[in-house]
Chain A
Amino acid sequence: MNRLRHPVGVAILLLGVLTPFVPLVLWSFAGRWRYPGLVPQQGTLRGVRLLADPTSQVLQGLATSATIGAAVTVLSVAVGVPAGRALGLYEFRGRSLVRLLLVAPALVPGLAVLLGTQVFFLRYGLADTRAGVVLVQLVPAIPYVTLIMSGAYANFDVDYERQAALLGARPWQVQLHVTLPALRPALTVAAYFAFLISWSEYALTLLIGGGTVKTLPLLLFAYAGGPDPTEAAAVALTVIVPPLLLMALVVRGLSGRGGTLGLARS
């Protein structure tokens, strides 16, 4: 059992996933890459320089995306974890209805739902602001946090909390020292998903941010429609590095605890 099983199958999987990254990486360093060359005829660091160039706004975009992503993560966890606790731990009338409401935004496309709110965001001064963008991005983020946490709470034994309370722990101590450690894997995955949703969002940011709140996806869209594939590819690499690094951290934090991405029992 020391050899890799199904080497052909594994090769196909990895090839399928990695192939689209090849032209992306090559283009971001390609000074000249005319058809039908298989590799660039000339290398360049123009893409790298673009990232540092203040007029390109890439660094500001990075900061904007990170700020909004952090806010959406914190807020959707703050709102979604209690909801997940209620759905995972309690049986009550109307539970399936509440569940449907909180899951629905994951199913019905956000743009279709939120198009009608744009005029209200404009009216109440939330359009073209980061706060407004954070608010709309909460809509697709909350369902994932709620779902993952309700699965985790359903497998959580509340008796641990009761025992800690009997032993004299205050409610916040119970949460901090008993509940939180038990739910840490699910919480990590939920927070990561919330961040990912915010980081990747394009249409809602455009709708409410109106092009004033320039997150990285908005900048990338502009470059992708532009004349220079080198610049577009360089910006694209900038967009994927932070979430890939975070994913590596998340997977590392979870490994040894079993389960795939903590979804195993949800």
Chain B
Amino acid sequence: MTGRRPRWVTIVLLLAPAVTVVGVLFLGGLGLGVAQSFGYLPFLHGWHWGLDGYRALWHDPAVTASVGLTLRVALVSTAVATVLGVAAGLLLHSLVRGRRTVTAVFGSTLAVPHIVGALAMVLLLSQSGLLSRLAHAAGLSGTPAHFPALTADGFGWGIIAEYVWKETPFVALVVLAALSGGIGELRGVARTLGAGPWQRLRHVVLPLIAPAVAATSVLVFAFSFGSYEVPALLGRPYPAGLPVVALQYQQDVDLNSRPEAMAVAVLIAVVVAVVVAGYLALIRRLSGRPL
């Protein structure tokens, strides 16, 4: 009988498998990555502790240029996807007829791997892509070269477009889920008390969905900062996304670039951790309550 077992034994047994797998691979991986960024080379002789990896990273123009690009792309994608996602979620929530169908179609990008999204963006946005052809048909551009470079461009427009396309429905579905519990009543009460539509949105709806939306936008930022295949397919070789740089250096035959590859990986993890922690602290202060 489960009831006879001490409570703490039950809890430990329930948690043990997950904590073991995540502890070994996640914490272990993080620890090993940090150790290797400081020069440790497992199973090899002649390595030494040092800051060479970080020094190389600091002086490597491929990395410094990449930090700016990666941060910009992640911030813009997150902001745009969050705003559009909230708007889309509110719109979907207000639908009476056809809500289920529209939501299912809109949410279908959730099931599409990013690598497929990236290819679709290449075929849509590149200089000989469908959008460029439409611009030609409308008389706006004469040749592919006339059309602005939206993929493999310096700013990262193509990468941003892919993230926004994939993540906006994700945010919208979270908003929809957050709104499904008792929002109608609250809005009704606010209306009876004389609140206009704007006041209802500002003081009833947005506070209700804010925690879920904040948590989701953090996920979106972390993903768009650390994803490999989207910048690899849609970006330039230089500056490349940080994860692209990390994997490239890691696969280098020259073992001396290992510490730098690990330093880039540590940099990615640190930036994400700092941004996530700072953002959550800010939200907590603004909303006056813990999430």
Distance between Cα atoms of A17 and B111 in the complex (Å): 12
B288 CB-CB contact with A under 8 Å: no
Distance between Cα atoms of A115 and B225 in the complex (Å): 16
Q: Chain B residues with Cβ under 8 A from A16's Cβ?
A: 165, 168
B265→A112 contact, CB < 8 A? yes
The A interface, classified by DSSP as helix, strand, loop or mixed, is: helix
Partner of B35, one of A22, A113, A116, A236: A116
Given A6-B95, A20-B120, also A217-B115 (CB < 8 A) = yes
B97→A247 contact, CB < 8 A? no
Partner of A78, one of B17, B26, B128: B17
* CB contacts between A and B, total, < 8 Å: 294
A107→B17 contact, CB < 8 A? no
A125 CB-CB contact with B under 8 Å: no
Of A34-42, A45-53, A55-63, A180-188, the one contacting chain B is A34-42
Q: Which residues of A15-37 are within 8 A (CB) of B?
A: 16-24, 26-27, 35-37
B189 CB-CB contact with A under 8 Å: no
B286 CB-CB contact with A under 8 Å: no
Considering only CB atoms, which chain B residue lies closest to A261 in the complex?
B173
Of B2-10, B57-65, B191-199, the one contacting chain A is B2-10
- Among A36, A139, A199, A255, residue most surrounded by chain B Cβ atoms (within 10 Å): A36
Q: Which residues of A105-137 are within 8 A (CB) of B?
A: 105-120, 123, 135-136
A107→B272 contact, CB < 8 A? yes
Interface size on B, residues (CB 8 A): 104
A13→B106 contact, CB < 8 A? yes
A114→B29 contact, CB < 8 A? yes
Q: Chain B residues with Cβ under 8 A from A229's Cβ?
A: 123
A86→B111 contact, CB < 8 A? no
B123→A109 contact, CB < 8 A? no
Given A113-B30, A138-B25, also A20-B95 (CB < 8 A) = no
Q: Chain B residues with Cβ under 8 A from A207's Cβ?
A: 247, 250
A101→B262 contact, CB < 8 A? no
B130→A22 contact, CB < 8 A? yes
B223 CB-CB contact with A under 8 Å: yes
User: Would you mind naming 12 contact pairs between A and B with Cβ atoms under 8 Å apart?
Assistant: A17-B108, A20-B120, A23-B123, A23-B130, A35-B128, A82-B18, A105-B26, A109-B272, A146-B18, A220-B119, A243-B111, A263-B173
Sorted nearest first, the 9 A-B pairs with minimum C-beta distance are A109-B226, A116-B33, A200-B113, A83-B18, A203-B228, A23-B123, A116-B32, A86-B14, A20-B120
